Structure 1
Amino acid sequence: MTSPSIAMIGAGSTVFAKNLLGDILSFPELAHADIRLFDINQERLDVTEQVAHRVAKAAQATPTVTATTDRDRALDGADFVINMIQVGGYQPATVTDFEVPKQFGLRQTIADTLGIGGIMRGLRTIPVLVDMSRDMERLCPDTLHLNYVNPMAMNIWGLSRQSAIRTVGLCHSVQHTAEELARDLGLPASEIDYLCAGINHMAFYLKFEHQGQSLYPRLMDLAESGQVPATNRVRYEMLRRLGYFVTESSEHFSEYVPYFIKRGREDLIERFGVPLDEYPRRCVAQIGGWEELRVKLQNPDEPLEVKRSVEYGSLIIHSMVTGQPRVVYGNVMNSPTVGSGKLISNLPDECCVEVPCLVDRQGVQPTRIGRLPPQLAGLMQTNINVQALTVEALVTGKREHIYHAAMLDPHTSAELDLDQIWALVDALLAQHGAFIPQALQAAD
């Protein structure tokens, strides 16, 4: 595999594709890779194709670049498949996930991982990923599927129940948060040593050290002082209560628990700086700036910055091609193979966990962590319950499990009574229509 073939699914996500391409092509061993760009949006795909050639030139690389709206062509014989799709897009799907719950008094911040928005995103995304995996089984059965698509844990879990394709879920919350904490403490991020484990968007730093000394006393002092960054108040508050720092951002985390977003408690929203409707704001800003950005990206006279990102995708590909060992954080099943035992012993066998993984020519090899502190495992279980029932609804075709997932969701159940939860699920499923599998669309 001297020059691997890499399929990028959802390549119309131009900026993310640009960053990943810059990472990949900056390695001399990957400079001649066979890059296949796939998207269902021809216009966005055309832009990414042009950007790919500009990235290659800036990196002094000579890849083969193919852009296609034919998924079979992109996948055929691919050594690696990088997935970055968004089923339903901002319009209509994301708007529906925010606006319908508001009619019931349920407010959200990001709604892509858990909560009622995360449940709906999982219901419309997992079937598409499974359909893609069927194509991979037919066209590139030995590929490694690198999934960047949310809701991460539900997606990996749903795929594990329905496909044999090797898949690892990739997120940047672990490394981003480590950099944030280093800045808060005035230390170089490169000098921080950490160990992190849990579930995606709810993993915790079990160790966070500098030159062999734990930094938790300093982080706790900062939390107790109240002088924390305004955008991080939720996470520092959870550090005070749990004794460990969580990886995902405060805006995300605020909707995974029942403590911070409550009707009639605007004091909480203000005190902890919870940015309600944050994801729609970001989407509107990105859409509004797309035309100007597109012109810049396509203009050969406009400087194109190509620098290494913190994403793990290119590192995994490079390590598997060259054998250079690395450690990355990946989302995998807690019992990766039958009889292999659990990676995190006090979480369920059948759940998706985020743990450090060794990568070399043998592929992605997860690390066994053992027991998590019980308060962390207990909090994670509240999220795992929702993930499990959403996946179960899709695998079995039983609509009632969607209600059960919403019923057990920490934020939804803290805000709505049972009749409201049932009515909200019905309203969302009706609004999403064909994005939801037919077996789940009609009430029993």
Structure 2
Amino acid sequence: MMSAPKITFIGAGSTIFVKNILGDVFHREALKTAHIALMDIDPTRLEESHIVVRKLMDSAGASGKITCHTQQKEALQDADFVVVAFQIGGYEPCTVTDFEVCKRHGLEQTIADTLGPGGIMRALRTIPHLWQICEDMTEVCPDATMLNYVNPMAMNTWAMYARYPHIKQVGLCHSVQGTAEELARDLNIDPATLRYRCAGINHMAFYLELERKTADGSYVNLYPELLAAYEAGQAPKPNIHGNTRCQNIVRYEMFKKLGYFVTESSEHFAEYTPWFIKPGREDLIERYKVPLDEYPKRCVEQLANWHKELEEYKNASRIDIKPSREYASTIMNAIWTGEPSVIYGNVRNDGLIDNLPQGCCVEVACLVDANGIQPTKVGTLPSHLAALMQTNINVQTLLTEAILTENRDRVYHAAMMDPHTAAVLGIDEIYALVDDLIAAHGDWLPGWLHR
């Protein structure tokens, strides 16, 4: 009989996320007896997760053991897979700080977890903790594969492979497969009939090919159909989660202009570019339905929802959940059993995309099997897509350099190069904003920033 893997969750207090990933894991034959090590610094949330995971395991007929840890290195000991999902500084205080301080300086944001001052501050708070995980893995589970779900994905992944190139890791997001499902829904077609090739950077990858299978087995380009549906007002459909604030106009307008559809949502994309959020331009906000402050609103709703769900889970005799669209269980199964699969992952650009900087973090299709995660070569992207991505890579490059070399100047430079910030603020205003953010975050940030 095949031995069972050890799967360690760092940030296991993110119960909803743990539930989705482990719900998938427990339904895979080869992973049913896995040892699940849950680690979180918050003992209360850790216990909540433990209750949910135990019920999930029993409901799925899985029979592995569950251990709970508040010490990271202990949880990582001899792990085969390390799933990382946490938010340093949480919604309060840090996300609130990112939004409130920026707003005082006249800069509005929608999500603030990837780029811009919000993404930059989140990277500075987060990367030292990711490095500590890499440090501990080097010591107690050097052959483990890390599955990183923490934003800002590109900067986090880049900072880890720059300092710990020996750690096997991939950055995971669900925007590629998630958007493909959304587009199928917009066109009333079965997502299983789609075939696509996607590439770029995290939250700004594009479907280079998007096709659907016809009755005779051949494939046809879906883009003309998608454009026609948008022009006729039939797409996009209302938000699948019932969120009326997010209407997906930005992405369809970008599709019209660029000829390719982007993977990350309209509310994200609006703040990665200089065109949608400008002071005194309520007409743009209205026309493109840009949901300002979307992330804080979402956090408040999710926290309220979670308390309600948690009570239900505690009282339920069993928990049955539908498979999620997350790649984690697919990757673990493929590496553990050798059964090959293809996922989209964030990895180092080692000759994968020719017209993006070598060494930057790119999102491409990866083959996964017993040899691990093997990124596939894309070649050259359409020049206008590469140019757009480069504006975001500029910020990622400078922030990664800032933290690797402990250079505060590069933090200002990263903010200056951010397309949205640069469209709204002057250079002295950007410096003042960065100073205020660093002061407001205090000890959540690395000490060298306060020297």
Is 2:434 aligned against 1:418? no
Contact 1:11 1:17 (8 Å CA) reproduced: yes
Q: Paired residue for 1:309?
A: 324
Tell me, in whole angstroms, the C-alpha distance in 1 between the residues paired with 2:82 and 2:270: 32
Is 2:393 aligned against 1:384? yes
Tell me, in whole angstroms, the C-alpha distance in 2 between the residues paired with 1:299 and 1:74: 28
Contact 1:81 1:145 (8 Å CA) reproduced: yes
Deviations 1:163-220 (A, max 9, x none): 1211100100000100010111111000000000000000000010012110111122
Q: Paired residue for 2:243?
A: none
Is 2:410 aligned against 1:409? no
TM-score between both structures, scaled by the size of structure 1: 0.96
Contact 2:114 2:151 (8 Å CA) reproduced: yes
Counterpart of 2:208 in 1: which secondary structure?
strand
Q: Paired residue for 1:182?
A: 184
Amino acid across the alignment from 1:367: T
Tell me, in whole angstroms, the C-alpha distance in 1 between the residues paired with 2:73 and 2:116: 34
Contact 1:205 1:246 (8 Å CA) reproduced: yes
* Percent of aligned positions that are identical: 56
Counterpart of 2:323 in 1: which secondary structure?
coil
Shift of 1:68: 1.1
Shift of 1:250: 0.3
Q: Paired residue for 1:82?
A: 83
Amino acid across the alignment from 1:266: E
Give the number of equivalent residue pairs: 435
Q: 1:332 aligns with which of 347, 354, 358?
A: 347
Contact 2:60 2:320 (8 Å CA) reproduced: no
Q: 2:270 aligns with which of 248, 254, 258?
A: 254
TM-score between both structures, scaled by the size of structure 2: 0.95
1:276-291 equivalent positions in 2, closer than 5 A: 276-291=292-307
Contact 1:223 1:237 (8 Å CA) reproduced: no
Tell me, in whole angstroms, the C-alpha distance in 1 between the residues paired with 2:108 and 2:186: 30
Q: Paired residue for 1:427?
A: 436
Tell me, in whole angstroms, the C-alpha distance in 2 between the residues paired with 1:227 and 1:53: 44
Tell me, in whole angstroms, the C-alpha distance in 2 between the residues paired with 1:305 and 1:274: 36
CA RMSD, aligned part only? 1.1
Deviations 1:359-413 (A, max 9, x none): 1100000000000000000000000000011111100011000000000000000
Q: Paired residue for 1:339?
A: none
- Structure 1's 220 and 300: CA in aligned 2 closer, same or farther, altered over 3 A? closer
Tell me, in whole angstroms, the C-alpha distance in 2 between the residues paired with 1:221 and 1:136: 51
Q: Paired residue for 2:18?
A: 17
Shift of 1:436: 1.1
Deviations 1:98-138 (A, max 9, x none): 00000011000000011110011011101110011100100
Q: Paired residue for 2:148?
A: 147
Contact 2:200 2:389 (8 Å CA) reproduced: yes
Q: Gaps spanning 5+ residues in structure 2: where?
A: 214-218, 239-246
Q: Paired residue for 1:109?
A: 110
Contact 1:58 1:306 (8 Å CA) reproduced: no
Shift of 1:288: 2.4
Counterpart of 1:350 in 2: which secondary structure?
coil
Tell me, in whole angstroms, the C-alpha distance in 1 between the residues paired with 2:279 and 2:183: 31
Q: 1:223 aligns with which of 222, 225, 230?
A: 230
Runs ≥4 residues deviating over 3 A: 223-228
1:357-372 equivalent positions in 2, closer than 5 A: 357-372=366-381
Amino acid across the alignment from 1:264: G
Higher mean C-alpha deviation, range 227-236 or range 146-155:
227-236
Q: 1:265 aligns with which of 277, 281, 305?
A: 281
Tell me, in whole angstroms, the C-alpha distance in 2 between the residues paired with 1:117 and 1:406: 10
Tell me, in whole angstroms, the C-alpha distance in 2 between the residues paired with 1:353 and 1:376: 13
Deviations 1:49-88 (A, max 9, x none): 0111100111101011001111111100100000001100
Tell me, in whole angstroms, the C-alpha distance in 2 between the residues paired with 1:34 and 1:148: 20
Counterpart of 1:247 in 2: which secondary structure?
coil
Contact 1:224 1:240 (8 Å CA) reproduced: no
Tell me, in whole angstroms, the C-alpha distance in 2 between the residues paired with 1:240 and 1:226: 14
Tell me, in whole angstroms, the C-alpha distance in 1 between the residues paired with 2:132 and 2:199: 30
Shift of 1:227: 4.6
Tell me, in whole angstroms, the C-alpha distance in 2 between the residues paired with 1:146 and 1:290: 24
Tell me, in whole angstroms, the C-alpha distance in 1 between the residues paired with 2:361 and 2:230: 30
Amino acid across the alignment from 1:378: A
Contact 2:366 2:376 (8 Å CA) reproduced: yes
Contact 1:393 1:401 (8 Å CA) reproduced: yes
Shift of 1:300: 3.3
Contact 2:186 2:234 (8 Å CA) reproduced: no
Shift of 1:311: 0.3
Q: Paired residue for 2:244?
A: none
Shift of 1:293: 2.0
Tell me, in whole angstroms, the C-alpha distance in 2 between the residues paired with 1:394 and 1:127: 9
Amino acid across the alignment from 1:419: D
Contact 2:198 2:207 (8 Å CA) reproduced: yes
Contact 2:76 2:137 (8 Å CA) reproduced: yes
Contact 1:158 1:391 (8 Å CA) reproduced: yes
Higher mean C-alpha deviation, range 284-293 or range 231-240:
284-293
Q: Gaps spanning 5+ residues in structure 1: where?
A: 336-341
